[in-house]
Amino acid sequence: MPHSSSLILYNAHIHTLDPDRPHASALVVVDGRIVAIGDHTVIHAYQDKAPNVLDAQGATVIPGFIDTHVHFTITGLGLLAVDVFGADSMAEVLERIATGAAERPVDGLVVASKFQPELLPEARFPTPLELDAAAAGRPVYVMEAGGHWSAVNQAALALLDLHDSIPGQQFDESGQFNGILSDEANTVAFTKLWQRYSDAIGVERAFDEAAAEAVRGGVTTLHALDDMQDIRALLSYGDRLPVRVVPYTQSKDVAAVKALGVGQIGGCGQVMVNGDFGPHTAALLEPYDDDPSTTGKLYYSDAELDAYVLESHLAGLQVGLHCVGSAAVEQLLNAYEAALTRHPRPDHRHRIEHFELPAPGQAERAKRLGLILAMQPSFNHFWPHHSEYPEVVGEERALRVDPVKSVLDAGLHVAYGSDSPVTPMNSLLWMHSAVNHSNPAERISAERALRLCTETGSWFSFEEQDKGTLAVGKLGDFVLLDSDPLATPSQKIKDIGVLKTVVGGLVVYGS
């Protein structure tokens, strides 16, 4: 999609986030960029240059949202899979899988996404036999909402070719495989089964679905954290999408990433530093409270991570890696410090993704190293600190999960995102979550949250000259909202609706 249209917008309540002109009521976009912004008189000189005129009817306008952490392909594939989100019993989960299987091609793999076992009264995964019954014996893959566990039946297991030495295959008391995969076995399932589903559906269809979902949420730029094959497809297809995409390749093959001609490497998937709390694969400096025999799991040795970070750094790439627990943060800080000490690079903007449970002092150390944090405040909305965390990591550490305000107090640069499909690409929900954090000590103001959803997001990908605020010379990327998030009671920010999303002067949603 050529993001270079022309548009006159007037009768708007614009928060520009530009300190030189914080408020305006009209702006003009010519060939994709803002050429004038101010009150209604600025539009007069452009009436023949921008034939499209949009009366905002008093709507609030803000810079387009920037989602700095999206798994783009999986988001699209997930929208095309069986959605079991919000099911209130195991029976309903199985019923949705049965209906979904019947609607999809016979014999093919059945994929169910956004499964949340902790919210079911049964609090468990479906068994292989239950999945066989629901899908008439076809292979079934059920991915947990966070992506760090999954359930499969025997037919899906057979597609994985997992040998016994791969960790994460779980067994019941009698030694029978119980269908649950975590750790490396889950990563194998994630990679192989989504790939199979993608081949069946067509990855471009998944891109279209995910892009449509993004612009519905007011997102005008997203950072796509995807595997090599998908990034390749995205690089050739991206211009046709309504949303702008910045690729972060999830690959350990630094030379191959460099050869793509992109500037970033990293993400989650195969390059994660650790896992997540539920399966006890988030790596902590102190043991888990509900299983003191473990401190979680680091996915690299120190030497492996040091070498990967150093090679990426020397290749001139910006690095960002999934890092949840304090031991993973420590390992990544050490790797960044080693690379930056030997080969200093000004303004590297290396990232840490998530930073959910750092130990005291790690935020300050990250700041000293010039690192920046891609965080997802809506984790706290769906999994507040008082939910399972006190049981899993204890009361004291639970209070420190998703430290939205502490990291800003430490002086760190932070930008927001969804980790979609883990949480939705709905920036108003990120704002809402940061403003209404379940731990009152971690709440921030709506204005500050808005900047982290827009302005700092542009800086994260070295695009602050083009995006993040509304000013002359910047791209015409903005969103019309049905209420002003800076004047809405904090409890209602998540209910604000996106009326229109505009990218490069082109209305891509709500036309």
For Zn ion, give the closer residue by CB, 330 or 419. 419
End-to-end C-alpha distance for the chain, whole angstroms:
16
For Zn ion, give the closer residue by CB, 3 or 351. 351
In the block, residue with structure tokens 């920037």: 66
Instruction: Tell me the residue type at 65.
Output: F
Sheet holding 149-152, edge to edge: 82-83, 110-115, 140-144, 149-152, 177-182, 169-171
Cβ burial 388-410 (10 Å sphere, 16+ → b, else e): ebbebbeeebbbbbbbbbbbbeb
Window contacting Zn ion (CB under 5 A); options: 188-196, 334-342, 394-402, 415-423: 415-423
Q: By CB under 5 A, tell whether 419 contacts Zn ion.
A: yes
Q: Give me the least distance between CB of 69 and Zn ion, in Å please.
A: 6
Q: In angstroms, rounded to a whole number, what is the distance separating the alpha carbons of residues 104 and 153?
A: 18
Question: Which residue of this chain has its Cβ atom nearest to Zn ion in the complex?
Answer: 268
Q: Give me the least distance between CB of 425 and Zn ion, in Å please.
A: 13
User: How long is the chain?
Assistant: 511
Query: Smallest Cα–Cα separation from 269: which of 72, 472, 117, 453?
Result: 72
Q: Give me the least distance between CB of 268 and Zn ion, in Å please.
A: 4
Q: Give me the least distance between CB of 11 and Zn ion, in Å please.
A: 40
Cis ω before 421 (30° cut-off from 0): yes
Window contacting Zn ion (CB under 5 A); options: 44-52, 176-184, 295-303, 416-424: 416-424
CA distances from 180 to 152, 157, 421 (A): 7, 10, 20
Window contacting Zn ion (CB under 5 A); options: 169-177, 215-223, 418-426, 441-449: 418-426
Token pair listed for 353:
């993704």
For Zn ion, give the closer residue by CB, 268 or 282. 268
Window contacting Zn ion (CB under 5 A); options: 132-140, 164-172, 262-270, 445-453: 262-270
Residue 254 · residue 315 · CB < 8 Å:
yes
Q: By CB under 5 A, tell whether 324 contacts Zn ion.
A: no
For Zn ion, give the closer residue by CB, 134 or 282. 282
Q: By CB under 5 A, tell whether 268 contacts Zn ion.
A: yes
Report helix, strand or coil for 144: strand
Q: By CB under 5 A, tell whether 94 contacts Zn ion.
A: no
Instruction: Tell me the residue type at 491.
Output: Q
CA angle in degrees (0–180, nearest 5) for 353-312-257: 90
Q: Give me the least distance between CB of 340 and Zn ion, in Å please.
A: 24
For Zn ion, give the closer residue by CB, 311 or 419. 419
Q: Give me the least distance between CB of 322 and Zn ion, in Å please.
A: 6
Window contacting Zn ion (CB under 5 A); options: 260-268, 278-286, 301-309, 341-349: 260-268
How would you classify the pairing of strands 65-70 and 219-226? parallel
Window contacting Zn ion (CB under 5 A); options: 3-11, 55-63, 268-276, 402-410: 268-276
Window contacting Zn ion (CB under 5 A); options: 46-54, 265-273, 284-292, 455-463: 265-273
What backbone phi and psi angles, to 5 degrees, belong to 318? -85, 130
Window contacting Zn ion (CB under 5 A); options: 181-189, 216-224, 335-343, 417-425: 417-425
Q: Give me the least distance between CB of 267 and Zn ion, in Å please.
A: 6
For Zn ion, give the closer residue by CB, 422 or 499. 422
How would you classify the pairing of strands 244-249 and 65-70? unpaired
Q: Give me the least distance between CB of 208 and Zn ion, in Å please.
A: 21
Q: Give me the least distance between CB of 449 and Zn ion, in Å please.
A: 20
What is the phi-psi region of residue 370: left when phi exceeds 0, alpha when psi lies from -120 to 50, beta otherwise?
Answer: left
Binding residues for Zn ion, total number by CB under 5 A: 2
- DSSP string for residues in 181-248: EEHHHHHHHHHHHHHHHHHHH-HHHHHHHHHHHHHHTTEEEEEEEE-HHHHHHHHHHGGGSSSEEEEE
Q: Give me the least distance between CB of 419 and Zn ion, in Å please.
A: 4
- The residues pairing with 13 across neighbouring beta strands, listed in sequence order, are 60
Q: In angstroms, rounded to a whole number, what is the distance separating the alpha carbons of residues 247 and 72?
A: 10
Helix (H) / strand (E) element for 406: namely: helix 404-409
For Zn ion, give the closer residue by CB, 184 or 356. 356
Binding mask 171-210 for Zn ion (x = CB under 5 A): ----------------------------------------
Q: Give me the least distance between CB of 65 and Zn ion, in Å please.
A: 18
For Zn ion, give the closer residue by CB, 306 or 353. 353
| Residues engaged in binding Zn ion (CB under 5 A) | 268, 419
